[in-house]
Amino acid sequence: MLIERAAKLDDEDPLRHLREEFDLDPGVVYLDGNSLGAPPKRVAGRVEQVVREQWGRRLIRSWPESWWTAPERVGEKIAPLVGAAPGQVVVADSTSVNVFKALVGAVRLAQAGSPERREIIVDAATFPTDGYVAESVAEMTGTLLRPVQVDEFDDVLGDRTAAVLVNHVDYRTGRLHDMPSVTAKVHAAGARVVWDLCHSAGVLPIELDALGVDLAVGCTYKFLNGGPGAPAFIYVPRELQPSFRQPLSGWGGHRDPFAMASAYDPDPGIARARVGTPDILSLLALDAALEVWEGVDLAEVRAKGLALTGFFIECVDELLGDAVEVVTPRDAWRGHQVSLRHQDARTLVADLTAREVIGDYRAPDVLRFGFAPLYNRYADAVQAARSLAELLTSRN
């Protein structure tokens, strides 16, 4: 019955044509797009063209012709996916570097008018690198770092809070946090908020401008399919750009980079969030990957993502029962992943991989399955659940 339902749902899927845009092995069930997205077919040709023509023939002339402005140009493609008007998103550096820039910038913005704001709140369940970076920022800025569960923010927000760093989707459980509510609470306390969008950009409708978000960062190699190590993006709203003072004042963020001036004078716009020389090959691979989003309605992407993850949970319930625990919220407050708990999670993920069913593992006991609506099918959900059920049955 599940197989028949999946076939019907796949036939009715309004996004099914987009699967043809991706270079996918038909023998693999790939449910790890929340770690590394599948490659759009057009990327390989674009990278070859960049290497052979722009690098191979135009050589250094490609910098002024097209390369130098690529971080802003590619940022403009991401902007509508996160609800940002033009001129507010730039692609540069890694997620960790951008978290550092954004969080220091947020603390400085908060302290500009209220020097007594000496605390940084970080989501206690945050992705580890966010926590590591927040600890360094606290040490550098002389502030106190307070790891707090998101549900307990009300208890700690106050007139000493400078900045709050929170993940839109919990990387381990898949729980979706309430961006409108959290942002409003942080602002009511007079603090600044930094959102990490790594597990939501490309699958959830996000409205950074409409919600008045202060700063946001996100990676591009997950649901945006930019490729391994693709550069991340940072969002700085236009009204905050003149006062956004990030700590890495490299030549890429200078008002006139090629003047080679001895003093740093930041660009007046979003380019001030840049640091050094952009990674052109990865950046232009991402540029090509983002073309698949032309004409795509994020509301449809979200609807399919909820339906896919909900259907997978149904499959798990029916085929596995209480052999595993579903730790992802069953209501709409989830991202596009389903996390299951089992004491042998690491081994099970390895065994699934051997069967060409690709998910991933997070310590100590979580199996994660990420569903990318642009290319995942309902049939993938059934196959993953059946394979896991067969593995667990064979152990008994």
Catalytic positions are: 127, 196, 221-222, 368
Helix segments in 167-256, DSSP class H: 179-188, 208-211
Distance CA 301, CA 308 (A): 10
Beta-carbon contacts of residue 70 (< 8 Å; ≥ 6 apart): 91, 278, 280, 283, 284, 287
- DSSP code of residue 247: S
Q: Would you list the DSSP string of 127-167?
A: -HHHHHHHHHHHHHHT-EEEEE-GGGHHHH-STTEEEEEEE
CB-based burial label for 76 (10 Å; 0-12, 13-18, 19+): middle
Q: At what angle do helices 95-113 and 128-141 cross, to 10 degrees?
A: 40
Residue 28 CA to chain centroid, in angstroms? 24
Phi/psi of residue 266, nearest 5 degrees = -65, 150
